[in-house]
Amino acid sequence: MEKAKIAVIGGTGFEKLFKNAKQIRLGTPYGVAPPISVGKIDDKEVVFLPRHGPDHSIPPHKINYRANVYALYELNVQRIIGVNAVGAINSNFKPGDIVVPHDFIDFTKLRITTFYDESPVTHIDVSQPYCPEIRKFLIENSRKFGRRVWDKAVLACTEGPRFETPAEIEMFRLLGCDVVGMTGVPEAVLARELEICYAAVCFVSNMAAGMQERLTPNEVLTVSKEITPIMEQVLIETVRALPIQRESNCPCANALKNARFKA
Ligand code: HPA
């Protein structure tokens, strides 16, 4: 099996990281993941998985999140950086801004959110839902490119594939959410369940429903295409900066410790 330590999961408009990279197809107990590219950034092995498939054919509610995360686990990935397009709920956030969320609220409805359906009953701690070490390096490196960077934000994850109603967005705002997207959960949780470090780097593609006249996927894609070269650089710099060994006291690496009911 290949040895890869860092993975990037790309989202809308971000379907490629390496040119001419070797591609692999991996089966898992949960199904087959989209083609995964294997490349290098300096000396570090990095794999890239496009969560919507290489030609953006899988909608958010149909993504096989378990197969995707498990395929990376099979590749010995220890850290995942997820990239997401998001709408701004907080009116201070604007299209083109970069956001490194520190927390999320899960409003999805139909997704399988765990690997642990059977005994031993497993309750993962998500008091720090995103890996603090990866977040730190994402924030530092996002700041190098002249974009506004939000180093704290609560992400609302919706089921999709439709966009939200203005009333839903107003509710999310009242609950303290800053941005909304359709793909952040359960990816982050599934990674934690396998003790893989995970953090997300998002870019604002639009103001959320009710804050601008109407929403179209093309608008999301246009902003995404515009910011992709910057997001690529953020990822490359972050991968370069991350130490080889992850922090030993990281909440992700020890997630299964004390997480199980003992019969
Ligand atoms: N809502 C949900 N998902 C999104 C949005 C949005 O406004 N923009 C980009 N992804």
pLDDT (tens digit, 9 = 90+) per residue, 92-150?
999 999 999 999 999 999 999 999 999 999 999 999 999 999 999 999 999 999 999 99
The answer to whether the CB of 181 is under 6 A from ligand 1 is: yes
Asked if pLDDT for residue 1 goes beyond 80, the answer is no
Distance 87 CA to ligand 1 centre (A): 4
User: Tokens standing for 146?
Assistant: 């002249």
Strands (E), 11-50: 22-24, 27-28, 31-32, 36-41, 44-50
Q: How confident is the model at residue 2 (pLDDT cuts 50, 70, 90)?
A: very low
Quick check: 88 and 179 in contact, CB under 8 A? yes
Residue nearest to atom 2 of ligand 1 (CA): 181
Q: How far apart are CA 133 and CA 212, in angstroms?
A: 35
Distance 40 CA to ligand 1 centre (A): 31
| pLDDT tens digit sequence for 156-206 | 999 999 999 999 999 999 999 999 999 999 999 999 999 999 999 999 999
Distance 145 CA to ligand 1 centre (A): 23
| pLDDT tens digit sequence for 206-236 | 999 999 889 999 988 898 899 999 999 999 9
Which CATH superfamily includes the segment(s) 6-241? Nucleoside phosphorylase domain (3.40.50.1580)
Atom of ligand 1 nearest to the CA of 209: 7
Atom of ligand 1 nearest to the CA of 183: 3
The answer to whether the CB of 89 is under 6 A from ligand 1 is: no
DSSP 8-state class, residue 260: B
The answer to whether the CB of 205 is under 6 A from ligand 1 is: yes
Distance 208 CA to ligand 1 centre (A): 7
Distance 162 CA to ligand 1 centre (A): 9
∠ CA 158-160-165, nearest 5°, is 75
What is the average pLDDT across 33-48? 92
The answer to whether the CB of 220 is under 6 A from ligand 1 is: yes
- Predicted structure pTM score: 0.95
Distance 158 CA to ligand 1 centre (A): 9
The answer to whether the CB of 86 is under 6 A from ligand 1 is: yes
Q: Is 131 helix (H, G, I), strand (E, B) or coil?
A: coil
What is the average pLDDT across 38-62? 91
Residue environment code for 206-216, b if the CB has 16+ CB neighbours within 10 A, otherwise e:
bbbbbbeeebe
Residue of 14, 63, 164, 182 to mutate, ligand 1, most atoms within 8 A of C-beta: 182
Asked if pLDDT for residue 252 goes beyond 80, the answer is yes
The answer to whether the CB of 83 is under 6 A from ligand 1 is: no
